[in-house]
Structure 1
Amino acid sequence: MATLLTYLIVALFVLLWAYTAIPKFFKFRSFYHILGSQAIPKWSVPILSVMIPLVELAVVFLLQQKSTPAHEEPCSAGWAGKNM
């Protein structure tokens, strides 16, 4: 049951992030104009107008990836295992 709930929550987040990112590409001129009217430096508008949707799509991609363990056992042959 917990796994099903986890998949449902991840699917909702994927839909949310995709819903926010994709229209920015289809209405790029409008997004660029709106971003240019915000209180940010004018030199950053071309950079942000491309990076914001790309980062949002990257979040969609990363949310779909299988998670890995957060902590792994350190290797005893590594620098932390050596006596100084």
Structure 2
Amino acid sequence: LEAEIEEAHLKAKEEMMQGIQMAKEVAQKELCDQKTLYENRIQALERELEEENQRKRLQEVDQQKVATQMKELKVAKME
């Protein structure tokens, strides 16, 4: 009888360990999926930021060109 009880305990422990292992694997997959999503989102935000910075640089260059042209026009008017 004791052997049967011990065997039942061992079987219960084994089943519990299998359940824990499965839960661990599911949790690891979820974490991996979340990590991938976050990394993809970070990359998308980095691209957006770079595009915005490029747009601002181009805008600054355009503003400098306009300022230079305005100065040239003022000089031309004075002549």
Q: Give TM-score scaled by structure 2 length.
A: 0.34
Q: Which has the higher contact order (CA 8 A, sep 6+)?
A: 1
* Higher helix residue share: 2
- Name the larger-Rg structure: 2
Q: Give TM-score scaled by structure 1 length.
A: 0.32
